[in-house]
Amino acid sequence: MKLIWAILCRDSSIDVDNNLVSVFNCLEKVEFSVDKTKLNSASQVNPLAFPADYQILSSWEIIDASKDNKLEFKIEIVDPANKILKTFENTFSIKQGSSMFRHRAKFQGLPFTVPGKYRFNLYQKKEADKYELVSSIPLDIKF
């Protein structure tokens, strides 16, 4: 399986009649107000969370559709200091005959520690316990 594209957005919709996807409010930068008294060294140990719903929408090409396939991947949210704030893992079984696979990972609450460039790193399990980075989506957080 091969990742074709991945995007960070607020929402998406899949049309039930034609299976086309619509993406709403792509996220590249987020600005919000923060109570400065809550920002201290403790917020770098235990991240604060901005109350927002968001998604990572991804499309995968299935290289060999003549057999059942399995997609194992994880998503890491990484702060500007390269600290991993959250990790999500998932596995999907894809039936024989499917040539494409689309996935929406939905999240609530955006963790943050400091202003700067955050990364949503997508990894695909290629062998036994080895994950390979297949995409890194940046998000600038300003407050």
Contacts of residue 109, Cβ cutoff 8 Å, sequence gap at least 6: 49, 50, 51, 52
DSSP string, 52-69: EEEEEEEEEE-S-TTS-E
The per-residue pLDDT for 54 is 96
- Measured between alpha carbons, how far is 79 from 90 in angstroms, rounded to an integer? 22
pLDDT digits (tens, 9 = 90+) for 80-126: 999 999 999 999 999 999 999 999 999 999 999 989 999 999 999 98
Number of domains in the chain: 1
- CATH number of domain containing 73: 2.60.40.1930
Minimum mean pLDDT range among 13-22, 33-42, 52-61, 100-109: 33-42
Does the structure show a pLDDT above 70 at 19? yes
- Measured between alpha carbons, how far is 95 from 52 in angstroms, rounded to an integer? 34
Which residue is listed with tokens 């109570």? Answer: 35
Does the structure show a pLDDT above 90 at 42? no
Report the 10 Å Cβ neighbour count for 55. Answer: 20
Query: Domain limits at 130?
Result: 2-142
Report the 10 Å Cβ neighbour count for 70. Answer: 10
Q: Is the pLDDT higher at 32 or at 106?
A: 106
- Measured between alpha carbons, how far is 13 from 23 in angstroms, rounded to an integer? 7
Burial of 109 (0-12, 13-18, 19+ CB in 10 A): middle
* Range 11-20 average pLDDT: 93
Model confidence at 34, pLDDT cuts 50, 70, 90, reads confident
